[in-house]
């Protein structure tokens, strides 16, 4: 039931083989960047909150070589088509759509005064797409890292992540926060990336206990964050803050939301309750994890899911079903906590559980979810993995 994670070294050699087959060239530069899962702190990265994701052991790999021209030619494993990008031009949104992530990142380098030499590249991914696991941030961070290799430069990690976030804003039209690109860029083995989104500072928090397993269950119900739901939520939080007359959500307490409940109006009042509650839950969860207090951590994850479902309205039937199954397995069955992860409207859940029972839990999640929905979910486990890097 537990799907294995493809080896990064296998992906790297498959990408090199793809480059050879499509462009008859040897890989000179290879970059890899991971997706992410978020343990807690959802939809508050754009509200100056705290978030606690980590880079997962699923990667996008780009293998390439300079081609001596002024064009980038990019092939992928999923289509026969080759996307061509004229590097003499300042990049704009264009077709095919998937290449906009690369165009957006190239544009970020162009805006910093870099001239990108022509290259051919082949892209391969083990990050499930549309699964709330940040395959887009992985593609952006892999592209940026590849370009660093091509140019022989090294951007500051924070600047690289912000460049990638801007690519997502301007070229994919998703007004995302900083969580995904930070997790993909800063990730380290055995470390959570606890981000204070007000200061923009990531703190690497140890997550080494072999008795803990993080299960990621993909509902296989896909979402498009650019279809407006995400932007609408972000707008609600901005409206809420201005009605409350505060400069930052960090200055807002639960009593403020209660006092202004009528003035905030529906649904902004519920959105506000989520933001304030989730910021405090994430701070408590980080503290609980630090003292190995799983009895405290589980209920915080549960409350996070309920708030995303009832107040922020970004869950969906399939996510609720998976979370419910995990809850029914309960602490005796080895489940510490479960919730939806990522932007929502489909995608994946995260289940923190005891390693000795992880396979059994995955089997139950899979069987019960299939019984309820007719869909066989994709379930895998991941430990915190290495962030975006060049393969030497
Ligand atoms: C998406 C966005 C992130 C974050 C999450 C929700 O993944 O890209 O910035 O807002 O949704 O927590």
- pLDDT < 50 regions, the chain: none
Residue 224: its pLDDT value, please?
63
Write the pLDDT tens digit of every residue in 5-53: 999 999 999 999 999 999 999 999 999 999 999 999 999 999 999 999 9
**Would you please indicate which residues are annotated as catalytic (active-site) residues?**
180
Residue 135 CA, ligand 1 centroid: distance in Å = 12
Residue 177 CA, ligand 1 centroid: distance in Å = 6
Q: Euclidean distance between the first and final Cα of the chain, in Å?
A: 34
Residue 13 CA, ligand 1 centroid: distance in Å = 31
Show the ligand 1 pocket: residues with CB < 6 angstroms: 42-43, 45-46, 134, 176-177, 179-180, 342-343
Residue 228: its pLDDT value, please?
87
Q: Whose CA is nearest to atom 10 of ligand 1?
A: 43
Residue 85 CA, ligand 1 centroid: distance in Å = 28
Write the pLDDT tens digit of every residue in 225-264: 657 899 999 999 999 999 999 999 999 999 999 999 999 9
Q: Are 167 and 364 in contact (CB under 8 A)?
A: no
Pocket test for ligand 1, best of 40, 45, 315 (most atoms within 8 A of CB): 45
Structure-block tokens of residue 88: 């003499």
């Amino acid at each position: 039931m537990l799907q294995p994670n493809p080896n990064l070294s296998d992906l790297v050699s498959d990408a090199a083989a793809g480059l050879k087959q499509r462009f008859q060239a040897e890989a000179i530069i290879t970059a890899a960047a991971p997706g992410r899962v978020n343990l807690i702190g959802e939809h508050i990265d754009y509200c100056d909150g705290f978030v606690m994701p980590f880079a997962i052991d699923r990667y996008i790999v780009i293998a390439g070589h300079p081609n001596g021209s002024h064009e980038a030619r990019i092939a992928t494993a999923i289509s026969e088509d080759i996307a061509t990008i004229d590097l003499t031009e300042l990049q704009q949104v264009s077709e095919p759509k998937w290449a906009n992530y690369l165009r957006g990142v190239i544009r970020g380098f162009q805006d910093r005064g870099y001239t990108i030499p022509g290259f051919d590249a082949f892209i391969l991914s083990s990050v499930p797409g549309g699964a709330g696991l940040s395959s887009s941030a992985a593609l952006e961070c892999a592209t940026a890292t590849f370009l660093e290799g091509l140019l022989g430069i090294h951007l500051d990690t924070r600047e690289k992540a912000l460049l990638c976030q801007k690519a997502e804003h301007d070229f994919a039209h998703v007004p995302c926060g900083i969580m995904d690109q930070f997790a993909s860029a800063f990730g380290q083995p055995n470390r959570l990336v606890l981000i204070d989104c007000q200061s923009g500072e990531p703190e690497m928090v140890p997550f080494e206990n072999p008795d803990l397993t993080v299960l990621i269950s993909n509902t296989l119900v896909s979402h498009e964050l650019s279809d407006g739901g995400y932007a609408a939520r972000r707008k609600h939080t901005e409206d809420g803050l201005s009605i409350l007359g505060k400069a930052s959500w960090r200055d807002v307490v639960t009593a403020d939301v209660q006092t202004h409940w009528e003035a905030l109006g529906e649904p902004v009042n519920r959105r506000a309750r989520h933001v304030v509650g989730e910021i405090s839950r994430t701070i408590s969860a980080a503290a609980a994890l630090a003292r190995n207090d799983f009895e405290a951590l589980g209920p915080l994850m549960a409350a996070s899911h309920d708030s995303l479902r009832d107040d922020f309205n970004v869950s969906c039937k399939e996510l609720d079903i998976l979370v419910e199954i995990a809850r029914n397995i309960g602490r005796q069955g080895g489940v510490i906590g479960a919730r939806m992860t990522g932007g929502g409207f489909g995608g994946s859940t995260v289940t923190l559980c005891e390693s000795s029972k992880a396979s059994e839990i995955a089997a139950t999640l899979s069987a019960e979810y299939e019984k309820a929905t007719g869909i066989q979910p994709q379930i895998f486990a991941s430990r915190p993995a290495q962030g975006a890097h060049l393969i030497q």
